[in-house]
Amino acid sequence: METVKFTQMKDGDREDYAFLTDHEIEYAAGTSDRLLAAMVELDKSLSGYKVTRLGHSLQAATRAWNAGADIDWVVSALLHDIGDIYAPYNHDEYAAAIIRPFVREQCAWVVEKHGDFQLLYYGEHVGANPHKREAFRDSAYFDDCAEFCEKWDQSSFDPDYPTKPLEFFAPLVKEVFARKSYGSGVIRTGVRVPTSDEGVALARSAP
């Protein structure tokens, strides 16, 4: 069997959909490789900053790594702006949709809302509400998103910051996207993990 038998989905049978499920599983296994390739494309995205969008993403992930953040935070920091290429006006929602099945709910929420939180730093200069984040004040993850933006996002436009290459983060991306999607042990609804861990940070900085 090389293709399904039907031309309309309603005409498919169990054999057709078992065949398609196998193909989907095989294709999904390559998600991390496609994402890493898409990260390279960020170098062709929005310009005008002192660093490229790829440089910004790598710097954010490096700051998270240096802070001792766990793997969910680091990968979320790396991929938080991947939507800039295809969804420049809702890049935060786009990125969140990509990572949501594979990271803690906390991290997916932060990535989804970071665009609104970032307005604190520049909203007044572009005619937007710099306090738009206040609509989410009651969220358990409000402070996490505020920290994410302050420590890793708004600060990661420094061309002199020692930034790790994409190859350094590739194994972390592969590990995250190899998880069982939407697994209860992956999503961990309601769980909050700090954005930094001094002990881990010291261990990572050791020669």
We report the CATH number of the domain holding residue 141 as 1.10.3210.10
Whether 195 and 76 have beta carbons less than 8 Å apart is answered as: no
Whether 107 and 189 have beta carbons less than 8 Å apart is answered as: no
Comparing CA positions, the residue from 141, 116, 139, 140 lying closest to residue 129 is 116
| Reported pTM | 0.95
pLDDT at residue 187, rounded to an integer: 98
Comparing CA positions, the residue from 63, 93, 105, 103 lying closest to residue 195 is 63
**Residue 136 belongs to a domain:** yes
**Residue 2 belongs to a domain:** no
The Cα–Cα gap between 188 and 193 comes to: 10
Q: Residue 50 above 90 pLDDT? A: yes
pLDDT-based confidence at 207, cuts 50/70/90? confident
**Residue 21 belongs to a domain:** yes
Mean pLDDT calculated for residue range 64-83: 98
pLDDT-based confidence at 176, cuts 50/70/90? very high
pLDDT-based confidence at 134, cuts 50/70/90? very high
**Residue 1 belongs to a domain:** no
pLDDT at residue 152, rounded to an integer: 98
pLDDT at residue 114, rounded to an integer: 98
**Residue 3 belongs to a domain:** no
Mean pLDDT calculated for residue range 137-161: 98
Mean pLDDT calculated for residue range 65-80: 98
Whether 84 and 168 have beta carbons less than 8 Å apart is answered as: no
3-class DSSP state of 143: helix
pLDDT-based confidence at 44, cuts 50/70/90? confident
Q: Residue 112 above 80 pLDDT? A: yes
Q: Residue 117 above 90 pLDDT? A: yes
Q: Residue 69 above 90 pLDDT? A: yes
Residues 6+ away with beta carbon under 8 Å from 120? 130, 131, 133, 149
Comparing CA positions, the residue from 119, 192, 112, 109 lying closest to residue 154 is 119
How many structural domains are present in the chain? 1
Q: Residue 124 above 90 pLDDT? A: yes
Mean pLDDT of the chain: 96
pLDDT-based confidence at 106, cuts 50/70/90? very high
Q: Per residue in 155-173, pLDDT tens? A: 999 999 999 999 999 999 9
pLDDT-based confidence at 47, cuts 50/70/90? confident
CA 87 vs CA 2, 46, 68, 92, 97: distances in Å? 34, 12, 30, 9, 12
**Residue 192 belongs to a domain:** yes
Structural domain boundaries, residue 131 = 9-205
**Residue 117 belongs to a domain:** yes
Q: Residue 90 above 80 pLDDT? A: yes
Residue type at position 165: P
